[in-house]
Amino acid sequence: MIFDTHAHYDDQAFDEDREELLAQMEPSGIGGIVNVGASLRGIKASQELAEKYPFIYAAVGVHPDEVGALDEERLMWMYELCRRPKTVAVGEIGLDYYWDKEARGLQKQWFIRQLEMAKETGLAVNVHSREAAQDTFDIIKEHHAGTTGGIIHCFSSSAELAMEYIKLGYYIGVGGVVTFKNARVLKEVVEKIPLERIVVETDCPYLAPAPNRGKRNSSLYLPLVIGQIAQLKGITVQEAEAATCENALRVYNRIRQ
């Protein structure tokens, strides 16, 4: 079974054929998908998808680009959603210094508050970090390490940093980028870190793997990612699929309860 640990099927890119596309998932071996909130609207939509589809689960969180919309009342609403049975993570949360849409101090403030929410509700985290590698690591180490664990989504830093996250108990999210010809650093990460700490993700509709780069991504393309991981690890595709699925179920442990 293939498990997509990070998707955005609420995105408008799927408005024309969402139901038809999702109907293909289970027959194609996609047994689980976590639809990840990124905005207040996305949180609500993720809950609706999780209620409608047995194989979809929800993550509750606000992306660093959207934290200006947060306040105490909305945070309490998010706490309530975190206690729903099909909510399996707090995410995607973190820091984004590439777009810098919100002040960095505000990003850090709400990143920490949402890490605290994860600890208090017993949920794993799904962490976004772009051009903010050291600050993200420092905050996680100080405010979350040793608690509920989680995934460093769309990992784009060095193998050395990946190993530091693994030492703290986190998993590394690998998606379509690993299939790109110029993805030398990510390929090195996959080669060097333990298979037991790798999960697969799409971030769809973004980051479709080669040879579909630039097209709309979906979980149906994950066999291409798993195939690349298998090649880099020197194992069979079946072994890579089984391991990454088991890892996903381990980090999103509420699914088994």
Tell me the per-residue pLDDT of 144-184, one tens digit each, with 9 for 90 and over: 999 999 999 999 999 999 999 999 999 999 999 999 999 99
Q: With bands split at pLDDT 50, 70 and 90, how would you rate the model's confidence at 255?
A: confident
Tell me the per-residue pLDDT of 189-247, one tens digit each, with 9 for 90 and over: 999 999 999 999 999 999 999 999 999 999 999 999 999 999 999 999 999 999 999 99
Q: What is the pTM of this model?
A: 0.97
Tell me the per-residue pLDDT of 45-67, one tens digit each, with 9 for 90 and over: 999 999 999 999 999 999 999 99
Distance (Å, rounded) from C-alpha 99 to C-alpha 107? 12
Tell me the per-residue pLDDT of 68-127, one tens digit each, with 9 for 90 and over: 999 999 999 999 999 999 999 999 999 999 999 999 999 999 999 999 999 999 999 999
Tell me the per-residue pLDDT of 21-41, one tens digit each, with 9 for 90 and over: 999 999 999 999 999 989 999
- Residue 215 per-residue DSSP state: S
Distance (Å, rounded) from C-alpha 9 to C-alpha 11? 5
Tell me the per-residue pLDDT of 134-146, one tens digit each, with 9 for 90 and over: 999 999 999 999 9
Distance (Å, rounded) from C-alpha 253 to C-alpha 211? 33
Is residue 44 within 8 Å of 81, Cβ to Cβ?
no
Distance (Å, rounded) from C-alpha 43 to C-alpha 221? 24
Residue 257 has pLDDT above 50, yes or no: no
Is residue 216 within 8 Å of 224, Cβ to Cβ?
no
Quote the tokens at residue 72. Answer: 């105490």
What does the chain come to in residues?
257
Residue 256 has pLDDT above 80, yes or no: no
Distance (Å, rounded) from C-alpha 59 to C-alpha 38? 9
Q: With bands split at pLDDT 50, 70 and 90, how would you rate the model's confidence at 254?
A: confident
